[in-house]
Amino acid sequence: MDNRTKYTLDEERIPRHWYNIQADLPEPLPPPLHPATGKPLTPPDLTPLFPMELIKQEVSTERWIEIPDEVRDIYKLWRPTTLYRAHRLEKALDTPAKIFYKYEGVSPPGSHKPNTAVAQAYYNKQEGTKRISTETGAGQWGSALSFSGACFDIEIKVYMVRASYDQKPYRRIMMETWGANCVPSPSTDTKVGRDMLAKDPECPGSLGLAISEAVEDAVSRDDTHYSLGSVLNHVLLHQTVNGLEAKELMEMADAYPDIIVGCIGGGSNFAGLFLPFIKDKIDGNKPDLRIVNVEPASCPTMTKGPYAYDYGDSVGLVPLLKMYTLGHGFMPPPIHAGGLRYHGMAPIICHLHKLGLVEARAEHQLATFQAGVTFARTQGIISAPEPNHAIKAVIDEAVKCRESGEAKTILLAHSGHGHVDMAAYDAYFSGKLQNYEYPDEKIKQALAELPKIA
């Protein structure tokens, strides 16, 4: 292992295929179910929402799926992304651990999200879609789809969770700069939104509710499809472009991770990084590899939620997925990591957790900002509140190495920068940031509301 800081690949090395974990799962995924009938979903059930190519990818068990040249050409605007060795953080922590991070904050919208947004816009364009509706939590996904709509001349409508819409006006302006239309959710543009506003005019919104609005929008118009920025199998598939690059770059660094750490909202950035590595664990080549999913203590889906079938949105318009869930009625506390406030989790990650192949832990908001500030003051990058969760866990693991004297190799999935999140840092520095613990009795209530599946 050398002393380099950056490991880079030429753009010709952008992977030509995405890696599909469904080819290598020890047991197949539990099937998604129809929200009205509770019966396993069939591809035609999804055609009002998605182009056929994405529906095929959702259920495919082919190991490698070709990345279209048109998508690779747009990836070239920022990919391959760099693998860094965090020498300065290691030194500050006085740890023998070797810390690497793969940084996705260099994409035009500032996160991993366009890895799938560009692909989804491309397949929609191929099949003649004129308009796409979507939701966004923190605004990263809405920005990524807006950028991708501009690449393929598709009109984009974004329903942005009201709390984030108010906290982060610059995200809306970014979306508008790429030509999209962004409204706060709940909005008056859908029945779901109007019903919610009638009940609670001050409703801060949730990701589940914004999904319901975007889905209602898509199914009520012939020219519109819907697009989801996380959770689904095809989204995780597209994100593996990052993990495949990371594998090659780790080889270049003559290293292999003992621990891979990432933050999870719906699970897409982290799965994109770790899925190409977990194959080595499934194959028995790296039995001790640890994969640590980090979520907020205020939205403890994996660490406290039951593993059950639940709706992907608030009102039950979208399919039932087998996942850890806090219940589709979950209204998240107003933490700043808007992208981590989702009630469910990617079925692939949940399944791997159930099989004992990955771990999960929860972190409190204040400690994650403290970690993010340490990272900014050593490595320079001001991170989004979401990856600060993973940085907190990485620092803990590195400190454990200091105590045990072990020189473990840690790989961090760094999902994006925080340049549009400075209000959150300001709240942290001025002592206004609070911790929120999600109460156990609310989880019990949510359990009672889960759909009964035979």
In the numeric block, which tokens belong to residue 244? Answer: 């495949």
Of positions 386, 391, 393, 411, contacts ligand PLP by CB under 6 A: 386
Task: Give how far Cα 116 sits from Cα of 105, 127, 182, 195, 259, Å.
Answer: 15, 17, 20, 32, 25
What is the C-alpha separation between 355 and 100, in angstroms, rounded?
Answer: 27
Going by C-alpha positions, the residue among 259, 257, 353, 261 that lies closest to residue 305 is 353
Going by C-alpha positions, the residue among 222, 326, 320 that lies closest to residue 265 is 326
HSE-CB of 43 using CA atoms within 13 angstroms: 10
Nearer to ligand PLP by Cβ, of 124 and 143: the residue is 143
Q: What DSSP line would sit under 379-410, residue for residue?
A: H---B-HHHHHHHHHHHHHHHHHHHHT---EE
Q: How long, in residues, is the chain? A: 454
Segment 312 to 371, residues that bind ligand PLP, using CB under 6 A: 339-340
Nearer to ligand PLP by Cβ, of 105 and 253: the residue is 105
Residue in the shown chain whose Cβ atom is closest to ligand PLP = 339
Nearer to ligand PLP by Cβ, of 301 and 314: the residue is 301
Q: How far is the CB of 338 from ligand PLP (least distance, A)?
A: 7
Binding letters toward ligand PLP, positions 240-279, x by CB under 6 A: -----------------------xxxxxxx----------
Q: Does 111 bind ligand PLP (CB under 6 A)?
A: yes
Nearer to ligand PLP by Cβ, of 289 and 384: the residue is 384
Q: How far is the CB of 137 from ligand PLP (least distance, A)?
A: 5
Residues contacting ligand PLP: total by CB under 6 A: 20
Segment 30 to 89, residues that bind ligand PLP, using CB under 6 A: none
Could you tell me if 165 and 142 are in contact, meaning their C-beta atoms sit under 8 angstroms apart? no
Q: Which residue type occupies 185?
A: S
Say what angle helices 140-152 and 114-126 make with each other, to 10 degrees: 40
The piece of 35-43, 89-97, 138-146, 403-411 that touches ligand PLP (CB under 6 A) is 138-146
The piece of 6-14, 62-70, 379-387, 436-444 that touches ligand PLP (CB under 6 A) is 379-387
Nearer to ligand PLP by Cβ, of 137 and 204: the residue is 137
Could you tell me if 369 and 392 are in contact, meaning their C-beta atoms sit under 8 angstroms apart? no
Nearer to ligand PLP by Cβ, of 267 and 312: the residue is 267
Neighbouring C-beta atoms of residue 356, cutoff 10 Å: 7
Q: How far is the CB of 198 from ligand PLP (least distance, A)?
A: 28
Sites of contact with ligand PLP (CB under 6 A) = 111, 137-138, 140-141, 230, 263-269, 339-340, 384, 386-387, 415-416
